[in-house]
Structure 1
Amino acid sequence: MGIRNYLIEGVSCTGKTTVCKELQRRGYHAINGDRELAYQGDSETGEPTDGGTHEHHIWHVDKVKALVANYDEAVTFFCGGSRNFSKFIDLFDGVFVLEVDLNTLNRRLDQRPENEWGGKKTERELILQLHQTKEDIPKNGMVIDATAPIEHVVDEIVRHSAENMIQPD
């Protein structure tokens, strides 16, 4: 949906949803991928699955492609985690990876209700493992310190995305 499109990724509890809401509050076009694009499916084939596990949390590739191809907005931010990001990451003009330290992650996990992802002990253990290994996030993204106040986190994302804007002749 944007002339320029950016992916905002990171492990659970790094602030992707909060960043999305703040971008929207500021008037930017931001898509909450976890709510608008996600479903449970096989990360290789895209076929829907019955399992509600982390490795099956993927985005509809065709929907991502269609949104990126629409130039109604100057910039669009796609916020959220997807286990099949390798299927569409090359469509983005840039990738931001939200990162927090272990203490911040644990504090945020402690605040999660049990009915949200990360609220259960087994989910929490997986999130802590992924935080340590970084195995489930894009490797080529610009790391953003998401321990800062949300206003500063979003300021940094907006500043870096503006620096990458193509200037008219």
Structure 2
Amino acid sequence: MGERNYLIEGVSGTGKTSVCRELQRRGFHAINGDRELAYQGDPETGEPMDGRTHEHHIWRVDDVRALVASHDEPVTFFCGGSRNFPKFIDLFDGVFVLDVDLDTLNRRLDGRPEDEWGARPAERELVVRLHRTKEDTPRVGTVIDATTPLASVVDEILRQVMLSPST
């Protein structure tokens, strides 16, 4: 959707949804990929699958490609986590990986409602492991300290892409 497109990734609880909302509030075009592009499917084939598992939380690659190909906006931020990001990461002008310390992560997960992913004990264990190993977040990209206040996190992302952090 943008002339320039950026991916904002990170493990559950690092603030991707909050960053998306704040970018939108500031007037930037931001897509919540976890809500607008995601479904349960095989990360390799894209074949839809039943259930609700982290390993099968993927984005519709054709939709991502179409949105990136459109130049209706000067910049678009794609916010969220996807197990099939290797299928489309090369389409982005930049990647930001939100990161927090374990205490912050645990506090944020504590505040989640039970029906939100990461709130259940088994899901939380997985989130903590993924936080430690970084195995399902992009290895390329700029790491952003997401323990700072939300406004500062968004300001830093905008600074990195050389946009004025208007509020």
State whether structure 2 residue 162 is matched by structure 1 residue 162.
Answer: yes
Determine the C-alpha separation between the residues in 2 that align with 1:35 and 1:112.
17
Partner of 1:44: 44
Residue in 1 that maps onto 2:19: 19
- 1:146 is matched with which residue? 146
Q: Secondary structure at the match of 1:127?
A: helix
Q: What corresponds to 1:166 in structure 2?
A: none
- Rounded to whole Å, the distance in 2 between the matches of 1:3 and 1:113 is 37
CA distance in 2: counterparts of 1:119 and 1:88, whole angstroms: 28
> What are the superposed Cα offsets for residues 29-77 of structure 1, whole Å, 9 maximum, x if unpaired?
0000000000000000000001210000000000000000000100000
* Structure 1 spans left out of the alignment, 5+ residues: 164-169
* Offset at residue 124 of structure 1 (A): 0.2
Q: SS at the partner of 1:126?
A: helix
Q: How far apart are the structure 2 equivalents of 1:51 and 1:41?
A: 9
SS at match of 2:143: strand
Distance 2:141 2:100 in 1: 15
Identity %: 75
SS of match in other structure, 2:75: strand
Paired with 2:129 and 2:158, the residues of 1 have a C-alpha distance of 30
Residue matched to 2:107: 107
Q: Give the counterpart letter for 2:16 in structure 1.
A: K
Match in the other structure for 1:80: 80
The answer to whether structure 1 residue 32 and structure 2 residue 32 are counterparts is: yes
Structure 1 residue ranges (4+ consecutive) displaced by more than 3 angstroms after TM superposition: none
Q: Deviations over 1:113-154 (max 9, x none)?
A: 111001100000000000000000000010000000000000
Q: Distance in 2 between matches of 1:81 and 1:131?
A: 13
The residue that corresponds to 2:6 in the other structure is: 6
Q: Deviations over 1:58-116 (max 9, x none)?
A: 00000000000000100000000000000000000000000000000011111111110
SS of the residue corresponding to residue 162 of structure 1 reads coil
Where 2:55 maps in the other structure, the secondary structure is helix
Over the residues paired in the alignment, what is the CA RMSD in angstroms? Answer: 0.7
TM-score normalised by the chain length of structure 2: 0.97
Tell me the equivalent position of 1:118. Answer: 118
Q: TM-score, normalised by structure 1?
A: 0.95
Letter in 1 for 2:32: N
Aligned residue pairs, count: 163
